[in-house]
Amino acid sequence: MQLKIIKNEKEYDKALSRIDELMQLNPKLGTKESDELEILALLIEKYEEQNWAIEVPDAIEAIKYRMEEMQLKQKDLIPYVGNRSKVSELLNRKVSLSLTMIRNLSQALHIPLEILVQPLQKA
């Protein structure tokens, strides 16, 4: 297969098929097939990043999602945020997350820190 930048779904599907073929061969490192497999994987990864990039969720949306998932109510966040009004203000985007809140919520709700440290989006 001639290696080139993947520009559309047809080329993407063709590259995936070729990867399947190469994986079946289980090529040894340093062979022509092994190099082709590695390059195709990079090309496919780049195409997927450009066409199906998943954005990092907003911190408040991540908290709300996790609350729903864990069947938590606003009052359940009081130990991590402060008091009932602070929880309400936070979820309504009236106040920003403090460093202490970020640490507490990350540990309690298992939300990655990189999601919680983003600047809050205005409602």
| CATH class of the domain whose range is 59-116 | mainly alpha
Domain residue ranges of the chain, discontinuous segments joined by +: 9-51, 59-116
8-17, 19-28, 45-54, 109-118: range with lowest mean pLDDT: 45-54
**Alpha carbon distances (Å) from 71 to 24, 37, 83, 85, 105:** 45, 44, 19, 20, 15
pLDDT confidence bin for 67, thresholds 50/70/90 = very high
Q: What is the pLDDT of the chain when averaged over all its residues?
A: 93
Please tell me the predicted confidence (pLDDT) of residue 122: 66
CB atoms < 10 A from the CB of 7, how many?
A: 10
Residue 88: name the closest of 101, 100, 78 by CA: 78
